[in-house]
Amino acid sequence: MDWIFGIHTVQSILKTSPQRVKELRVVRSRQDARLQKVLNLADQHGVTLQWVTAQQLDTLVEGRHQGVAALCKEGQTYDESYLATLAEEHGQDAFFLMLDGVTDPHNLGACLRSAEGAGVKAVIVPKDNSVGLTPVVSKVASGAAESIPLIVVTNLARTLKDLQAKGVWSVGTTGDAEQTIYEIDLKGPLVIVMGSEGTGMRQLVASQCDFLAKLPMAGKVSSLNVSVAAGVCLFEAVRQRS
């Protein structure tokens, strides 16, 4: 179990996955409407409540807890079979984000938040060399970690091949691409593939993509943070698809 903290994050978990929450700790000195919503949800689902001081909560979690923390079971992840089901269910509207080796929890959390906002049906990560649904991921995702499926697969290249067999086109992002993301058709069944923070996509994964794209960089920096780049690419797809 892990402690997940922050008003919005805890409220989202109580709304979407109350069975995960085993205990709630709340700073007694904080009394406002936002916290009352959390307390009401906890009472509704029979969650044990313990009043604490701000100092006690400071020692329990690392970060801005906003006066509330929840002891939770690990977030649920899904496998390849569920991804296949999603691809078939959504058909022409299938829309996925694949992350190749993102190990920073802040980046995964930010990617989940952008993906949820863009209407992505699931985020796909490898079993190895990737961060899981940690408390930091949940905090940064600001509720998205509880509302968008995280698919954990053994082999990304094979997963891309399986998705392609179901009619899903794949667009990988790399600075070496000849086309920009704005020049590629992002409508229809789609998976956008982002590389890791340091090395980008692995060659085996890149070679399995149908198209490769880059972001046009006008400044002196050569690349963007992976979560920022993911947001740009996802919402370009949103623009085209709408």
Q: Are residues 21 and 86 in the same domain?
A: no
H helices then E strands: how many in the chain?
9, 11
Strand 122-126, strand 150-153: pairing:
parallel
For residue 13, the domain's CATH number is 3.30.1330.30
Instruction: Report whether pLDDT(141) > 80.
Output: yes
Q: Are residues 175 and 235 in the same domain?
A: yes
Q: Are residues 108 and 64 in the same domain?
A: no
Using pLDDT thresholds of 50, 70 and 90, give the confidence band for residue 131: confident
Using pLDDT thresholds of 50, 70 and 90, give the confidence band for residue 113: very high
| Number of domains, the chain | 2
pTM of the shown model:
0.84
> CB–CB of 179/212 below 8 Å?
yes
Listed residues 55, 72, 89: the one ending a domain: 72
Give CA–CA dist 94/167, Å, rounded: 9
In this predicted structure, what is the pLDDT of residue 212? Answer: 97
For residue 151, the domain's CATH number is 3.40.1280.10
Give CA–CA dist 8/52, Å, rounded: 19
Q: Are residues 144 and 231 in the same domain?
A: yes
